[in-house]
């Protein structure tokens, strides 16, 4: 095991929840909602998304006797994104049965058992377990690792695939152990670029030459740098690399981030699909910055201050579009590309209020509080972001500490 001493430097002036174990409940603090109201809202959302009507409400579907998947209703596929979000939600809600069912489905059908992709998870499958796309979307592995660490701390480790900490460590090792070099367009690579210490968009060929800003989760790397059995200095370096990247990639006036970017922060559109604009993936950047602030950077003169400025900047931009009608897809300088007012984006902007000092942050919270639980065709992405935001804005998205 690597010597972890001084791999991560803790600043005693920091005020994040990692150091204080205090999580803000914005619904109580700013909206003056009661604990009963808040808990009922969270439990109602979980029940609908996991156990609601099969055709119009739920996204979680059990597979007897002991597995379950989360399906993207619009695209009719099962994604590592959805399974890993579901696992994080389950551990935060103390739903061990749901967590274990999702993890077993992912291990059974998604994880490659042999070949050059061994250990990586295929990102898109049919509900019967048939692989649609064998490639990996690296955010899935990031959320799997963190969910597994939390499960280990919360419930303790079991046997086999339920030895959560061993599974998290094995996955961390795999993410850095494939190939450091590019050797042709189809080369399978590491999930992190060894030179820049940044998460790649996908660990194969040219897709490993750029990144997705919403995949940058420095608050998770903070935990890995402390808890991993090896490569601790790499994860410590990745924390700073991601924070510096986020500063570079967001637009200086609007605060909008692109869906894809090169490692220097420059917007990227490698497939000519408009990914250099603020699209659905990029909605989550505000959440990641705010949770990094909530957990770690609050009180930091550089990154904490920037998180406040950035959260104010992006909320200023959306406020200017009308709190109940702002659009959902933009060029980075603010030109509307899709005019829909989306529940998923409303949810992410509510989370941004954790780091914002704007006087009207209350209006973003009210807009989110008053949203109905997403249902229908787009309930997968909107619904999971809604559920995450409920936990995050209520002080229920917590670190469970590995001893």
Residues catalogued as catalytic? 81, 281
Q: Which two tokens stand for residue 313?
A: 């900047």
218 CB-side CA count, 13 A: 28
Cα 260 from chain centroid (whole Å): 15
User: Is the backbone of residue 257 left (phi > 0), alpha (psi -120 to 50) or beta?
Assistant: beta
Report the SS3 class of residue 328: coil
Spatial CA neighbour of 263 closest among 186, 208, 188:
208
- Which distant-in-sequence residues (6+ apart) come within 8 Å of 349 by Cβ? 286, 314, 315, 318, 364, 367, 368
Sheet strands side by side (includes 131-133): 60-63, 67-72, 77-79, 124-125, 131-133
Query: What is the C-alpha separation between 232 and 234, in angstroms, rounded?
Result: 5
Q: What are phi and psi of 272, to 5 degrees?
A: 55, 40
What three-state secondary structure class fits 134?
coil
In the structure encoding, which two tokens stand for residue 346, read together?
């409303």
Alpha helical stretches, state H, 156-283: 164-175, 218-227, 232-249
Task: Answer whether 125's CB lies under 8 Å from 87's CB.
Answer: no
The Cβ of residue 200 has, within 10 Å, a number of other Cβ atoms equal to: 23
Q: What is the rounded distance in angstroms from the CA atom of residue 383 to the CA atom of residue 372?
A: 10
Radius of gyration (C-alpha) of the chain in whole angstroms: 20
Q: How far apart are CA 278 and CA 348, in angstroms?
A: 13
Cis peptide before 65 (omega within 30 of 0): yes
Helix (H) or strand (E) holding 204: none
The SS3 call for residue 78 is strand
């Amino acid at each position: 095991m690597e010597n972890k001493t001084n791999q991560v430097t803790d600043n005693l002036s920091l005020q994040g929840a990692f150091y204080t174990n205090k999580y803000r409940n914005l619904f109580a603090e700013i909206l003056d909602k009661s604990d009963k109201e808040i808990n009922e809202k969270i439990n109602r959302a979980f029940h609908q998304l996991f156990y609601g009507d099969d055709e119009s409400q739920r996204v979680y579907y059990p597979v007897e006797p002991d597995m379950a998947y989360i399906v993207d209703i619009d695209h009719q596929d099962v994604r590592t994104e959805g399974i890993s979000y579901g696992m994080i939600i389950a551990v935060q809600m103390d739903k061990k049965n749901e967590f274990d069912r999702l993890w077993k489905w992912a291990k059974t059908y998604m994880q490659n058992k042999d070949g050059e992709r061994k250990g990586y998870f295929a990102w898109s499958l049919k509900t019967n377990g048939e692989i649609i796309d064998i490639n990996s979307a690296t955010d899935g592995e990031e959320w799997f690792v963190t969910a597994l660490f939390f499960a280990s701390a919360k419930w303790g480790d079991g046997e086999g695939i339920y030895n959560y900490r061993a599974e998290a460590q094995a996955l961390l090792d795999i993410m850095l152990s494939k190939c450091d070099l590019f050797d042709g367009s189809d080369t399978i690579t590491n999930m992190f670029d060894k030179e820049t210490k940044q998460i790649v968009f996908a660990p194969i060929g040219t897709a490993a030459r750029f990144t997705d800003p919403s995949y940058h989760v420095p608050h998770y790397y903070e935990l890995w740098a402390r808890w991993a059995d090896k490569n601790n200095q790499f994860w410590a370096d990745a924390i700073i690399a991601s924070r510096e990247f986020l500063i570079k990639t967001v637009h200086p006036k609007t605060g909008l981030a692109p869906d894809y970017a090169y490692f220097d922060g420059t917007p990227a559109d490698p497939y000519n699909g408009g990914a250099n604009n603020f699209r659905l993936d990029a909605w989550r950047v505000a959440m990641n910055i705010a949770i990094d602030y909530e957990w770690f950077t609050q009180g930091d003169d550089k990154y904490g201050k920037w998180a406040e400025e950035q959260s104010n900047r992006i909320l200023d931009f959306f406020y200017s579009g009308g709190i109940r009608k702002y659009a959902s897809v933009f060029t980075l300088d603010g030109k509307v590309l899709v005019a829909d007012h989306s529940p998923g984006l409303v949810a992410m902007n509510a989370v941004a209020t954790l780091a914002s000092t704007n006087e009207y942050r209350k209006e973003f919270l009210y807009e989110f509080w008053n949203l109905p639980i997403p249902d229908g065709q787009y309930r997968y992405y909107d619904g999971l972001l809604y559920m995450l935001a409920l936990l995050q804005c209520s002080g229920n998205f917590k670190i469970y500490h590995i001893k």
